[in-house]
Structure 1
Amino acid sequence: MKHSPADTMARGPEAAMSPGPGHALWPRRLLAGLCGAILLAMMGLTVVDVAGRYLFNSPLNGATELTELLLVSVIFLGLPAVCLDDEQVTVDLLVSRLPARIQPWRKAALALVSAAVLGVVAWRLWLHGDQIAGYNAVTNSLRIPVAPFAWGTALCTAASVPVTLYVAFRDLAQSLRS
């Protein structure tokens, strides 16, 4: 997929190498749908809590806990989608001045580093979930077990590892062919 020069300038040097957000439609749509549903639930929860607090002087019990758990869920469910779309936040101070022939290799090397970091984070999140499960941690008001959320974040982070590698090396192969 070709990108215009304006698109490349707006999104950085990776924009010319990435096929963009439509390349793997069904996983992206599934994650977007899940995240959208969670965001709608958070919005509804907040509206009910605020209305209850200010109109009836009776806030929704456990609204803060649920909002926190839903926020963690939407962030970590969105992580594989961000990796799939190759839309991570980047700071481009020097790399845009590197020759174009080096850019795909730089991106592949950074993907290896990113995948390693994501792998370590996933591993540590899983161990943290085990630790939380060991002392049966639950939320204060609603007594919701916290460990499954830690394990869920670990799984989403772990799913981001192969996605990151796939996107980077797909883009490298594409740039080597052209």
Structure 2
Amino acid sequence: MLSALLILFVTSLIVLDVLGRGLFNKPLTGTVEIVSNIIVVIAFLQISYSIQTNGMFHTDMFVNLLPEGLKKFVRLLGELAGAALLGMMIYASWEPMLHSWSIGEYFGGGQFRFPVYPVRTVVVFCCCLAFLNYLLRAFDAVTGSNSSVSQEEL
């Protein structure tokens, strides 16, 4: 929901910037800074949802050829690999996020500067949620249950 509102906001901002440039030769100040940071937020807000609804890209062409027990093992490995990747992203982003807050990091210069520390915080928070989702899916792979929600159920 929040990402949809942000997409609407970014779209409106771009339209206003284009109209301002074209009609009045006055671009909207800060459009580049805002849009480039909000796109990152939109992408990371979608990650956990995509994992939970099986929306992440995966190929099971070869997995379907495996025996059932091996399928579960491969699924477990995939979920643990996703959790490991997100864990590394959290580890790599944690210090930069804290540093960003401590110095009050901003992007851009001149007339408009966009605060980066909330964006870094959203990235770390969303990576934590995605990490937990992968751990839950790994637990499901071990137990044989399925706590994923399909998009039709939402």
TM-score using structure 2 length: 0.82
Gaps of 5+ in 1: 1-32
> Offset at 1:99?
2.6
Counterpart pick for 1:68 among 30, 36, 43: 36
> Offset at 1:35?
1.1
Aligned to 1:115: 83
Kept after mapping to 2: 8 A contact 1:108/1:172: yes
Distance 1:150 1:161 in 2: 16
> Offset at 1:70?
1.0
Change (3 A) 1:128 1:37: same
Asked if 1:153 corresponds to 2:123, the answer is: yes
Aligned length: 144
* Larger RCO (CA under 8 A, 6+ residues apart): 2
Q: Aligned with 2:106: secondary structure?
A: coil
Counterpart pick for 2:65 among 97, 112, 120: 97
Asked if 1:55 corresponds to 2:29, the answer is: no
Q: What is the one-letter code of the residue matched to 1:173? A: T
CA-based RMSD: 2.1
Distance 2:21 2:138 in 1: 48
> Offset at 1:158?
1.0
Could you tell me the percent identity over the aligned residues? 26
TM-score using structure 1 length: 0.72
Distance 2:28 2:145 in 1: 54
Distance 1:56 1:98 in 2: 63
Counterpart pick for 1:46 among 14, 18, 26: 14
Distance 2:99 2:113 in 1: 17
